[in-house]
């Protein structure tokens, strides 16, 4: 039995056999071949090149239709790699000379090319390394007849063990046989972790070297609340965790008993508790856990795991469904927040876009009004089916809010001309998740109908800590005095301007933080559905006055750790 510790990403305990997904690193054994096999190996290589060419041309066509010719042209560079006579001839001549399997020779030649290109001073040529790497991997996959892992192939409930999983990988686990997952890398508020919470899959991330310690079929216990992974437990440990599973169920039932009661503090202050969702069919879980609406619908997941961009009609159907299912409660649709750690595999978007500081979210949408308008029109059209609101992610100042609203007005004008109904008074909010927005929230409050504080990003940008990087996870402190002061200022500015303010970052659903943010005056808390009953239970156990006192004391403390210890203590006192 081995016990290892990682970052607790999604709570709950799961027990099951491991299923290890290997990193796509091609370790190809060196195999001598007979002289007579050389033509067969050359043919294999040529077929792999043809197949790769076919794949790239098809991808290019799809991108030209979905995103425009300019984006499609990125792949011309990939096609050029495929036609590189020097590379092809080097593979064939070494194959003939060394008489080794073609996959091995190709990988050797590829490594040499990558090495040479990455050392070149010229920036343009240096960038070609990524193209060569991409195309090279495609060729290798075709040479080896490999497919990417498909979760649908899983026959029993397994614990997935992987170096890393993208948010779209996690979304693809939905309704598949995955009872938990564990990864080598990742942080607590990476979208992979957030997705796991929504799907109610316990997860531990950032467990360095875990893929080296676990083999497929090892029995694993994943404790997503404590961040523990136990490999091949002994009988006593197994029983301990099975008992833990039963206890958790009991606690969950206690919290669930208040789920349909109003969210009132003991002195009668009404608070809104809403849910965060990524996929439309989570509305069932949202209702089950007693949410009073949806405070964050992360629509980018709609663009993932599919071929091409969703059409206006598809957006419209999804939003109308969620709006009418949640009626009379509000649903806040967050417009496309692409980038950071959420990228769309089908576009093979340049690497830079995955960067948290890059061309992403509302910046991408403002630069691509063609894509943005499809979504905005659909939101407007769906607004007649329920209480829809919309908000923009990553607003960094008033100018961006104005630009986005200008495009929204254009969409309204178009719909008016087309005679299509929509709610002209739809509430439009700004997410406050960039420090510059937090510092100018008094100005933004004049032009927005509401704010929603995106603490996941606000923390990473203000503390300069990558939210998805396990190496700096210890610095990711939601209760850092800087963060608390910012939240206080945002709430005060919003209230001063007469608008309401919510919070949809993970902080709003962390039991230990609730008392402080309640005391700071937050109006709406939005969180993964399954934590709603517990948060409701806490809010119903305290007076607003007491929460205000706790917040005031917290603001006097000097470090995040002091604040956290203090708030844990107060929570324990309140819950007995």
Q: Mind telling me the catalytic residues?
A: 191, 504
Could you give the count of Cα atoms lying within 13 Å of 104 in the half-sphere of its Cβ? 12
CB nearer to ligand PEP: pick between 194 and 395 = 194
Q: Output Rg (C-alpha) for the chain, integer angstroms.
A: 26
CB under 5 A: which stretch of 128-136, 301-309, 427-435, 544-552 binds Mg ion?
427-435
What is the CB-side half-sphere exposure of residue 524 using CA atoms within 13 A? 27
> For residues 190 and 265, which CB has a smaller minimum distance to Mg ion in the complex?
190
Q: Is 457 in the site for Mg ion (CB under 5 A)?
A: yes
Nearer to ligand PEP, 222 or 296 (CB): 296
Q: Cα torsion for 457, 458, 463, 466, to the nearest 10°?
A: 0
Q: Can residue 282 be called a binding residue for ligand PEP (CB under 6 A)?
A: no
Asked if 502 touches Mg ion (CB under 5 A), the answer is no
Half-sphere exposure of 336 (CA within 13 A, CB side): 29
330 interacts with ligand PEP by CB under 6 A? no
Q: Of 224, 339, 454, 519, which one interacts with Mg ion (CB under 5 A)?
A: 454
Pairing of strands 428-432, 450-453: parallel
In the numeric block, which tokens belong to residue 494?
């919003």
Q: What does 192 interact with, of ligand PEP, Mg ion, none (CB < 5 to 8 A by kind)?
A: none
Q: Which phi and psi (to 5°) does residue 32 adopt?
A: -65, 145
Stretch that binds ligand PEP, among 75-83, 451-459, 512-520, 555-563 (CB under 6 A): 451-459
Among 272, 325, 427, 433, binds ligand PEP (CB under 6 A): 433
Contacting residue, 454, 478, 521, 560, with ligand PEP by CB under 6 A: 454
Of residues 233 and 509, the one with the C-beta less far from ligand PEP? 509
Q: How far is the C-alpha of 216 from the C-alpha of 21, rounded, in Å?
A: 9
> How many residues touch Mg ion (CB under 5 A)?
3
- Within 8 A by CB and 6+ apart from 455, the residues are 433, 478, 483, 487, 503, 505, 506, 507, 508
**Binding piece for ligand PEP, criterion CB under 6 A, among 25-33, 160-168, 376-384, 452-460:** 452-460
Residue 224, binding choice from Mg ion, ligand PEP, none, Cβ under 5 to 8 Å by partner class: none
Q: Please report whether residue 337 would count as binding ligand PEP according to CB under 6 A.
A: yes
Structure tokens at 20: 């290890």
Pick left, alpha or beta for residue 22 (phi over 0 → left; psi -120 to 50 → alpha; otherwise beta).
beta
The sign of the CA dihedral 477, 481, 482, 483 is: positive
Nearest-angstrom CA–CA distance, 448 and 429: 5
| Region from 93-101, 228-236, 249-257, 449-457 binding ligand PEP, contact rule CB under 6 A | 449-457
Distance of alpha carbon 503 from alpha carbon 525, whole angstroms: 5
Q: Which of 138, 298, 480, 488 binds ligand PEP (CB under 6 A)?
A: 298
Nearer to ligand PEP, 87 or 333 (CB): 333
Residues 6+ apart with CB under 8 A from 118: 126, 129
- Return the residues of window 480-539 that contact ligand PEP according to CB under 6 A: 504-505
Give contact residues for Mg ion (rule: CB under 5 A).
433, 454, 457
The footprint of ligand PEP (CB under 6 A) covers 194, 296, 298, 337, 433, 454-457, 504-505
């Amino acid at each position: 039995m081995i016990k290892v510790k990682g970052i607790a990403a999604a709570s709950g305990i799961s027990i099951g056999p491991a299923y290890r997904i290997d990193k796509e690193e091609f370790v190809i054994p060196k195999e001598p071949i007979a002289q007579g096999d050389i033509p067969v190996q050359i043919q294999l290589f040529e077929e792999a090149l043809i197949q790769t060419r076919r794949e790239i041309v098809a991808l290019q066509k799809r991108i030209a239709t979905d995103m425009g010719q300019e984006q499609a042209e990125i792949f011309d560079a990939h096609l050029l790699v495929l036609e590189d006579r020097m590379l092809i001839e080097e593979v064939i001549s070494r194959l003939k000379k060394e008489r080794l399997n073609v996959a091995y020779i190709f990988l050797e030649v590829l490594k040499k090319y990558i090495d040479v290109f990455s050392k070149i001073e010229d920036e343009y040529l240096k960038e070609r390394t990524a193209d060569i790497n991409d195309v090279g991997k495609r060729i290798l996959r075709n040479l080896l007849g490999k497919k990417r892992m498909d979760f649908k192939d899983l026959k029993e409930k397994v614990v997935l063990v992987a170096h890393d999983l993208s948010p779209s990988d996690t979304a693809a686990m939905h309704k598949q046989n995955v009872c938990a997952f564990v990864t080598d890398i990742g942080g607590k508020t990476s979208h992979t972790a957030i997705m796991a919470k929504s799907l109610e899959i316990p997860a531990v991330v950032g467990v360095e070297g875990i893929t080296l310690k676990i083999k497929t079929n090892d029995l694993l216990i994943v404790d997503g609340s404590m961040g523990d992974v136990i490999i091949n437990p002994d009988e006593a440990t197994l029983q301990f965790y099975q008992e833990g599973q039963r206890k958790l169920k009991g606690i969950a039932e206690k919290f669930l008993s208040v789920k349909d009661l109003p969210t009132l503090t003991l002195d009668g202050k009404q608070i809104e508790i809403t849910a965060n969702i990524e996929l439309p069919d989570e509305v069932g879980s949202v209702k089950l856990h007693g949410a009073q609406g949806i405070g964050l619908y992360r629509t980018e997941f709609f663009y993932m795991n599919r071929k091409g961009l969703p059409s206006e009609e598809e957006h419209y159907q999804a939003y109308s469904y969620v709006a009418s299912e949640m009626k009379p409660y509000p649903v806040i649709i967050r417009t496309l927040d692409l980038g950071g750690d959420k990228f769309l595999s089908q576009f093979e978007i340049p690497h830079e876009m995955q960067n948290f500081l890059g061309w992403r979210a509302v910046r991408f949408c403002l630069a691509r009004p063609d894509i943005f308008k499809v979504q905005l029109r659909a939101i407007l059209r769906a607004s007649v089916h329920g209480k829809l609101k919309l908000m923009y992610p990553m607003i960094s100042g008033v100018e961006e809010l104005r630009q986005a609203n200008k495009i929204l007005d254009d969409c309204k004008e178009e719909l008016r001309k087309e005679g299509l109904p929509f709610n002209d008074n739809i509430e439009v909010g700004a997410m406050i998740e960039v420090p510059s927005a937090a510092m100018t929230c008094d100005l933004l409050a004049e032009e927005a109908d509401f704010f929603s504080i995106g603490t996941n990003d606000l923390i990473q940008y203000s503390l300069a800590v990558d939210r998805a990087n396990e190496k700096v996870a210890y610095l990711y402190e939601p209760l850092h005095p800087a963060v608390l002061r910012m939240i206080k200022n945002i709430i005060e500015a919003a209230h001063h301007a007469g608008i309401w303010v919510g919070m949809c970052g993970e902080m709003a659903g962390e039991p230990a933080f609730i008392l402080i943010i309640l005391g700071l005056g937050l109006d709406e808390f939005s969180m993964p559905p399954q934590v709603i009953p517990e948060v409701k239970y806490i809010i119903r156990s305290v007076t607003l006055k007491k929460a205000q006192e706790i917040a005031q004391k917290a603001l006097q403390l000097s470090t995040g750790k002091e604040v956290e210890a203090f708030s844990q203590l107060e929570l324990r006192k309140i819950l007995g």
